[in-house]
């Protein structure tokens, strides 16, 4: 067995053992994701998602895609990422790197973050008895868990080899490129790639990428610096095509600086090829596979933000800033998923809290209006009456009597 194969086997074994021991220590499930195969390891499929979650059983969630998304996002965010699944449960993904490249992802969960009562109202009926038995952690505890898990993974990882002196990589333009005149010009290929992605032609897009890779190798004519420049051009092409195909801009361009660094540090043809294939697969996944999970994650973060700030002035712009989205896009995603506008949902949260205070406290109507984010008592009474069919005073009297 080669030393390289032995190293990979050792890292794989250490990752699986560490994941199992960590899961036992914190009483939470654990899964291991293989970046090379782009799949959860087989023994991971016995965990909660595949064996117990109703959403996975009836096809409303694909655990492989959900946790591939989490691990890809971890690669963008300092090797650690906390995310929500479509069932509104929390998972933590952290990375193990081999020679600086992502090798495995350790995914722990599911967890309930915050009071379980806040979650149950949003769940399907069949999920409730499962969720109430899951570990419950505060946001601070989830943060601590994430940092310790990332530290464990870092002790398994091996560092990147020393890089050669960096070479500036120029952006792709219409006059300067590493491609020869006899090979297909990338901007023409980009138009075809965008068209394929828009049409949902994943197989065609993959075939075109293989053609572009072959052309790149021929065009470089043994000049490795030229090859690396062409690879950087291709990553720019992938980025544009993925964004035009519907991928989130921040998900794609958030990686650009790191990808430029990694291209500049490649020292062999195999390293360049492996990186390009990895980048393409990841970008294509953001177009074809991940919208469901990106939206679930954003929606849970938005709902959490609203429930934490309902007593204040809650604006769409503030919420969008908190979840790193544009206000217009968040408004569209939120309305489509929740069946109501952002503003209507904020008011529903405030009215629900008002009901609790009207029944469970002796506070005045004016104080309750102030504590739940309404600008004045008159406006509060108008909104409450419209939502419940009775005034706050009548609601309190009826509930008490």
**pTM for this prediction:** 0.61
Reference 238, options 203, 198, 209; nearest CA is 209
| Residue range 3-156 in CATH 2.60.40 | no
Enumerate residues 6+ apart whose C-beta is below 8 A from 269: 217, 224, 227
Cα–Cα distance, 272 to 260 (Å, whole number): 12
- pLDDT confidence of residue 169: 41
Cα–Cα distance, 160 to 36 (Å, whole number): 17
Q: Which portions of the chain are predicted below pLDDT 70?
A: 1-9, 45-46, 118-124, 162-187, 190, 198-200, 245-257, 288-289, 291-296, 324-325, 329, 401
- pLDDT confidence of residue 280: 76
- pLDDT confidence of residue 45: 67
Which residues share a beta bridge with 136? 112
Q: How many helices (DSSP H) and strands (DSSP E) are in the chain? A: 20, 6
Tokens standing for residue 269: 């043809």
pLDDT tens, residue by residue, 213-239: 777 777 777 788 888 888 888 777 777
What residue segments make up the domains of the chain, in order of their start?
3-156, 186-278, 293-400
* Phi-psi sector, 65: left (phi>0), alpha (psi -120 to 50), beta: alpha
Enumerate residues 6+ apart whose C-beta is below 8 A from 355: 388, 395
| Architecture of the domain whose range is 293-400 | Orthogonal Bundle (1.10)
Q: Are 214 and 273 in contact (CB under 8 A)?
A: no
- pLDDT confidence of residue 168: 43
pLDDT tens, residue by residue, 109-152: 998 887 777 666 666 677 888 888 888 888 788 889 999 999 99
């Amino acid at each position: 067995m080669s030393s390289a194969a032995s190293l990979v086997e050792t890292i794989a074994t250490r990752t699986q053992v560490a994941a199992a021991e960590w899961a036992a220590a914190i009483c939470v499930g654990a899964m291991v994701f293989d970046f090379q195969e782009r799949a959860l390891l087989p023994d991971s499929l016995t965990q909660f998602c595949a064996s117990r979650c109703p959403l996975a059983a009836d096809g409303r969630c694909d655990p492989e895609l959900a946790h591939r998304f989490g691990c890809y996002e971890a690669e963008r965010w300092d090797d650690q990422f906390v995310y929500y699944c479509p069932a509104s449960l929390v998972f933590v993904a952290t990375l193990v790197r081999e020679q600086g490249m992502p090798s495995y992802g350790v995914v722990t969960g599911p967890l309930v973050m915050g009071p379980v009562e806040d979650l149950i109202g949003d769940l399907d009926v069949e999920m409730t008895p499962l969720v109430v038995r899951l570990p419950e952690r505060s946001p601070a505890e989830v943060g601590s868990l994430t940092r310790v898990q990332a530290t464990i993974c870092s002790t398994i990882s091996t560092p990147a080899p020393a890089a050669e002196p960096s070479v500036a990589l120029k952006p792709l333009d219409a006059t300067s490129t590493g491609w020869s005149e006899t090979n297909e010009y990338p901007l023409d290929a980009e138009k075809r790639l965008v068209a394929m992605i828009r049409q949902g032609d994943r197989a065609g897009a993959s075939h075109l990428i293989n053609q572009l890779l072959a052309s790149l190798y021929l065009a470089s004519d043994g000049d490795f610096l030229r090859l690396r420049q062409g690879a950087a051009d291709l990553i720019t092409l992938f980025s544009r095509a993925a964004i035009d195909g519907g991928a989130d801009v921040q998900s794609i361009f958030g990686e650009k600086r790191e990808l430029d660094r990694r291209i500049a540090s490649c020292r062999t043809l195999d390293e360049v090829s492996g990186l390009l294939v990895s980048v393409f697969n990841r970008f294509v996944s953001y177009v074809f596979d991940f919208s469901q999970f990106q939206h679930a994650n954003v929606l849970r973060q938005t709902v959490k933000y609203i429930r934490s700030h309902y007593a204040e002035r809650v604006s769409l712009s503030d919420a969008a800033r908190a979840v790193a989205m544009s206000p217009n896009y968040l408004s569209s995603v939120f309305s489509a998923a929740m069946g109501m506008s952002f503003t209507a949902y904020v008011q529903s949260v405030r009215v629900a809290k008002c009901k609790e205070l009207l029944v469970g406290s002796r506070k005045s109507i004016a104080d309750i209006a102030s504590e739940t984010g309404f600008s004045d008592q008159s406006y509060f009474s108008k909104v409450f009456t419209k939502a419940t069919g009775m005034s706050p005073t009548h609601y309190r009297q009826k509930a008490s009597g």
